[in-house]
Amino acid sequence: MSWISDPKFTQDQPFGPQTLPYGVVDGGVAVRVGDRALLLKSLALGKCSEYVQEDSLDPLLKAGRPIWSVLRAKLKEIVQSSSAPKGAELVGIETAKLPFTVGDYVDFYSSRHHAENVGKMFRPDGDALTPNWTHLPIGYHGRAGTVYVSGTEIVRPNGQKRGSEGPKFGPSERLDIEAEVGFVCGGPKAANVSTSRAAEHVFGVALVNDWSARDIQAWEYQPLGPFLAKSFATSIGAWITPLEAFSVARVPTPPLPNKLHDYLTCDQPWGLDITITVELNDTIVARPPFREMSWSFVQQLAHMTVNGATVRPGDLFASGTVSGPEKNERGSFLELSWGGKEPFKLDDGSTRSFLEDGDTVKLTATAPGEGGSVVGLAEVVGTVRSA
């Protein structure tokens, strides 16, 4: 019997009172309630009020886990009340923008199914996995400056590609997606973060599409890995779902075949039972299951900081492409089309191996919540155009 009258603000909908993701719209910091946004700066939030007065989540990210927990509890109480509190203002979500200042950006490679698929395509006569893959979460540093909010157009990148008479230069002809889950960091700056402390430094969870130019990548990635093929664009959802919303969705990660070093062992399950839906031009082409990821976000953060590197508020790290064991669970078009050899069909009768100009990709995702509810992650949408 909430005072918020919105048919999408129910427990069986992704953005009901069980989710309450944070974002920034015209008017300031807000939480999403169904298809509306509740502005926070005029609400009586006690000691939490000072962290939601700016047009950014940056102060809240710095505040740390104790404030995050108190604020979430207060907001759940407010939105489930039968009467609107003083200062309550509901606005549209159409003006949502990138809600925080991205510090460092790291992308991982943590789906065994994805890694094995790519290995089979790229190394058909060798081992699908590299020898280090089951011993550490492989990752690379990306560019924070090209992390864009959902809805931003994606410009087809230029770069060098392999040619029959040496490299050629021009727009990518094998533009791809990577359906991923991202983690927004907060709390005090820290290094050597253990797996047991990692959750103290993760504010929330968001969908990520790490766009990839496969032809540029194939020419440039040896020996140092991704560069121009990845740095041109990474899309993130406009609303950050608090980590606490996933308490019911926690699951063990699939077992690895070898003993791990102590800093990567976990005393709690930190896999997440999130199911992503990938749509291309309104056709659902895949449903990647995040529960299949071999490395959890706490292991990724522990590895990222074990050498003395720090994590700080606003840092973002992403899981890497999410893929499952079935063909319809593959989180990239590289896999869905098996390197372009097996184009997949859309509802309009057309086929794709990689992205064409004008194509629109949308990622959505849900996870189980308390009492049989559904926890949502905000959509990530991007349309491709030529330069």
Residue 15 in any domain: the answer is: no
* Alpha-carbon dihedral 114, 118, 121, 126, rounded to 10 degrees: -110
Residue 116 in any domain: the answer is: yes
Question: Residue 58 is encoded by which pair of tokens?
Answer: 């940056």
Distance CA 175, CA 93 (A): 30
Helix, coil or strand: residue 299:
helix
What value does the mean pLDDT take over residues 288-305?
98
Residue position matching structure tokens 């996995």: 129
Question: Residue 249 is encoded by which pair of tokens?
Answer: 């969705």
311 & 353 share domain:
yes
The answer to the question of whether 180 is labelled as a binding residue is: yes
The answer to the question of whether 230 is labelled as a binding residue is: yes
114: annotated active-site residue: yes
Residue 123 pLDDT class (50, 70, 90 cuts): confident
Chain segment 300-342, per-residue pLDDT in tens: 999 999 999 999 999 999 999 999 999 999 999 999 999 999 9
| Domain endpoint, select from 69, 97, 125 | 97
The answer to the question of whether 262 is labelled as a binding residue is: no
Question: Residue 238 is encoded by which pair of tokens?
Answer: 């406009």
Domain around 77: 22-97
Mean pLDDT (the chain) is 97
**Which is the catalytic residue, given 114, 135, 141, 261?**
114
Residue 122 in any domain: the answer is: yes
55 & 200 share domain:
no
45 & 182 share domain:
no
The secondary element (H helix, E strand) that includes residue 375 is strand 374-385
70 & 114 share domain:
no
184 & 36 share domain:
no
77 & 185 share domain:
no
pLDDT at 45: 98
Residue 154 in any domain: the answer is: no
The answer to the question of whether 127 is labelled as a binding residue is: no
pLDDT at 122: 85
Q: Which of 38-42, 124-128, 139-143, 362-366 has the lowest mean pLDDT?
A: 124-128
Helix, coil or strand: residue 336:
helix
89 & 113 share domain:
no
The answer to the question of whether 299 is labelled as a binding residue is: no
182 & 313 share domain:
yes
Residue 181 in any domain: the answer is: yes
28 & 130 share domain:
no
Residue 279 in any domain: the answer is: yes
340 & 369 share domain:
yes
Contact 216, 157 (CB under 8 A): yes
The answer to the question of whether 105 is labelled as a binding residue is: no
Distance CA 190, CA 305 (A): 8
pLDDT at 1: 81
| Domain endpoint, select from 73, 97, 121 | 97
The domain tally of the chain equals: 2
Residue 172 in any domain: the answer is: no
135 & 269 share domain:
yes
Question: Residue 46 is encoded by which pair of tokens?
Answer: 């006690």
Report residue 134: phi and psi, to 5°.
-85, 5
Report residue 125: phi and psi, to 5°.
-105, 5
260 & 341 share domain:
yes
pLDDT at 379: 98
| Domain endpoint, select from 68, 97, 126 | 97
The yes-or-no verdict on residue 245 having pLDDT over 90 is yes
| Alpha-helical regions (H) of the chain | 58-63, 65-79, 112-122, 214-220, 228-231, 297-305, 333-336
The answer to the question of whether 348 is labelled as a binding residue is: no
Q: What is the CATH number of the domain that holds 337?
A: 3.90.850.10
pLDDT at 125: 87
Chain segment 267-287, per-residue pLDDT in tens: 999 999 999 999 999 999 999
The answer to the question of whether 140 is labelled as a binding residue is: no
Residue 277 burial class via C-beta count within 10 angstroms: exposed 0-12, middle 13-18, buried 19 and up: middle
Please indicate, yes or no, whether the overall pTM of this predicted structure exceeds 0.85.
Answer: yes
Chain segment 190-243, per-residue pLDDT in tens: 999 999 999 999 999 999 999 999 999 999 998 999 999 999 999 999 999 999
The amino acid at 78: I
pLDDT at 91: 98
High-pLDDT (> 90) share of the chain, % = 98
pLDDT at 210: 98
Residue 299 pLDDT class (50, 70, 90 cuts): very high
Residue 159 in any domain: the answer is: no
